[in-house]
Structure 1
Amino acid sequence: MAQNPGARTPHAEGPRPEGDDDGELRRALAVALLPGIDEMTRRVVDDIHAHSGTYASGSPVSRDDLWGICRDNLLRALEDFGGLSSGGDAEQAARETGRRRAEQDVPLDTVLQAYRRGGRVMWQVMAEHLRATRGTRQAHGAAGDRDTELDMAGAVWETIDRYSLVMAESYRLTQLEMQGRQETRRVALFEALLDGRGDDPAVAAAASAALGVPVQDRYVIVVAAQDPAAPPNPAPVLDEHGIWSFWRPRSGRYAGIVRLAAGESGVLIDLLRHRTGATAGVSPEFDRLARAGRALRLAEQALRTLPAKSGEAAAFDDRLAEVLLVGRPEIAERIVGTRLGGVLDMAAEREVLLGTLRVWLDSGCSAARAAELLYCHRNTVLNRIGRIAELTGCNAESGEVRLGWALALRALPLLAGDGEGAAGL
């Protein structure tokens, strides 16, 4: 933020160690220079402009802004240097400089450099006065040697250094406060998107600005369970692979919006599954922030189909059958009962029969292919499928029966209580 020549914390470190002569000289210098404060300010502003492109540009710090801050700092610095009572807070000018320049996003190094330029000009003015009055002071028996002038220079830079520290501390504190306010705003606008308020163009535009992403792009919403074994926030893993995301805890889970480049959907699922260990549902892609609320609901539905604490991640479009079943538990239960009930009653055969049925269906109902995957003879597969047909009273050649079996196999783990949404079944 703003910056200016230095000043020193008035009584920051107790009594001055200088002797009476030094104290009197410092006081005399301050009293002599204070009437010329405006000319000194002009010299400081000109010097800062000559050595800083940021300040010379006039944006974000105008010349009037710089002038006012410099004058205030110079005034306080001279009063402090001379031990003059100002009747106010001698550090206020430095704190105000740090606060204002932080808000204007002027780099701290640039502000500190300007403080040094201001201190240099302040000492130049003092040195000019000391040289001009050396004979007069010596005639009155006052100290006028080179060592005394060096002592004054040291005192000036001590003052500048102290004011610089005060300014820098204020700058950093302001930055922290601004970051806190910005984060609060980002969270509030993200929540507004998830609540479906992105349909308001003003909300969408504000969220875009706060999050730093376009209103229109390729996005997905991810909802991750807060598994004890998984990191609380997948963002660092995604950041490592150049994938932007923003996450917040929400209703006992983590909700995140992820910006995708072409072909990154598969990468995202893989990272969630193998690098984060989070159990997560991923929405279909959407092309504008206004659709984040709907995407959140779809991601939550995908998550409900996954076994709790499984570390599995799945896209909504890959779990369509499960989404339908988990949303209608009474239908899911009926499908399992009518299509697999007889098999489930056979404790000794159940696991083998269900495993064979799953592989057979996934193999396009090819007994030969299923036999290769199960490391058995194709006739064994056919015999097991026949046994299932017998226990369920169904015709294995019927497409409708095969669809019923496939749906029942997908509904079974949901009814078993392993799914995120099983409590509602």
Structure 2
Amino acid sequence: MGWGTRYGALLGPLLAGGARPDVVADAAHGLGLPERGRFAVVVLGAPVPEAVAAEGPDADGTRWWWGRAERSPGAEEEDVAVVLLGGAGPAGAVARLTERGAGPGGMSPVVGSPAELGAARRLAGTALLTCVPGARKVVRLDERLPAALLVSRPELAARLLAEVLGPLLERGPAERAVLVGAVEAWLECGGSVGRAAVRLGCHRNTVFNRLRRLERLTARSLTRPPELVELVLALEVLRLTPGAS
């Protein structure tokens, strides 16, 4: 795996994983990383904006080391950063990226040492996979764990989609959009049909009827927790599958 940009040669051993402790220590020292701290890794699916890659710490003390590497031999390059978090923590770092037009992107959980950055890079890559294609947004893995599980096992995710939403996917695009929109609004409104109706701009009975139709098509009940979990996860797969919705 080739690495580019100013910090590439030093970031490579840290983010590839599996390097000897002395190699990790030398790379961390060369970058000026402390032995212990609050670190995260960010992986972007689009080129890093110039405003994001600018030198110098953020106002809260967050520091960034950007590099560029191939996702796999022969694949397109992606921008990757090691982040030493400041006072605003991971949420502040993600907000900075989003405000400056970065994305799509994924951020790993917080780790405590440079030796853990290889694992963090893999998790940041998984977080990136949970972004809808083309989205200008950076997401944290810790906030996308169900979706991360699904993208980590694409063959099972595809099976879940076919098993749970197969009959719905056989309907026309307009009908699919109406039924999916109803259940998504209902979920976002905490299971309130009335609030979902306000959000959708229709009568509550219309929402109720759409939900019942979805239940009949999928043979899953929104009132049975195990079946509701299946529906929610299948809808997440649908969201992440280009052209399926």
1:287 Cα deviation from its structure 2 partner: 0.7
1:237 Cα deviation from its structure 2 partner: 8.2
Query: Structure 1 pair 309/265, CA: closer, same or farther in 2 (3 Å)?
Result: same
Distance 1:233 1:290 in 2: 29
C-alpha distance after superposition, 1:371-408 (max 9, x if no partner): 23223332222111001111222223211111111101
Distance 1:185 1:237 in 2: 11
Paired positions, count: 233
Distance 1:417 1:334 in 2: 17
Secondary structure at the aligned position of 1:216 is classed as coil
Distance 1:289 1:354 in 2: 43
Aligned residue in 2 for 1:345:
170
C-alpha distance after superposition, 1:293-313 (max 9, x if no partner): 000100011112213332121
Equivalent residues of 2:106, 2:138 under 8 A apart: yes
Q: Summarize the alignment of residues 232-381 of structure 1 with structure 2, pairs less than 5 Å apart.
A: 234-236=52-54, 239-241=57-59, 242-251=61-70, 252-347=77-172, 348-381=174-207
Q: TM-score, normalised by structure 2?
A: 0.85
Which structure: greater strand fraction?
A: 2
1:239 Cα deviation from its structure 2 partner: 4.0
Secondary structure at the aligned position of 2:121 is classed as helix
Secondary structure at the aligned position of 2:43 is classed as strand
Instruction: List alignment gaps of at least 5 residues for structure 2.
Output: 71-76
Aligned residue in 2 for 1:76:
none
C-alpha distance after superposition, 1:250-277 (max 9, x if no partner): 1110111001123321121122223133
Aligned residue in 1 for 2:16:
195
| Alignment partner of 1:226 is 2:46 | yes
Q: Summarize the alignment of residues 1-400 of structure 1 with structure 2, pairs less than 5 Å apart.
A: 187-197=8-18, 200=21, 202-227=22-47, 231=49, 234-236=52-54, 239-241=57-59, 242-251=61-70, 252-347=77-172, 348-400=174-226
Distance 1:373 1:199 in 2: 55
CA RMSD of aligned residues (A): 2.5
Equivalent residues of 1:237, 1:275 under 8 A apart: no
Which structure: greater helix fraction?
A: 1
Distance 1:184 1:391 in 2: 52
Aligned residue in 2 for 1:414:
240
Instruction: List alignment gaps of at least 5 residues for structure 1.
Output: 1-182, 419-425
Distance 1:383 1:359 in 2: 14
Equivalent residues of 2:40, 2:82 under 8 A apart: yes
Query: Structure 1 pair 408/232, CA: closer, same or farther in 2 (3 Å)?
Result: farther
Equivalent residues of 1:280, 1:313 under 8 A apart: yes
Distance 1:346 1:237 in 2: 52
Amino acid at match of 1:194: L
Amino acid at match of 1:209: H
Distance 1:212 1:237 in 2: 14
1:220 Cα deviation from its structure 2 partner: 0.3
Equivalent residues of 2:8, 2:68 under 8 A apart: no
1:236 Cα deviation from its structure 2 partner: 1.6
Aligned residue in 1 for 2:74:
none
Equivalent residues of 2:186, 2:192 under 8 A apart: yes
Query: Structure 1 pair 262/232, CA: closer, same or farther in 2 (3 Å)?
Result: closer
Amino acid at match of 2:142: D
Secondary structure at the aligned position of 2:139 is classed as strand
1:222 Cα deviation from its structure 2 partner: 0.5
Distance 2:107 2:126 in 1: 9
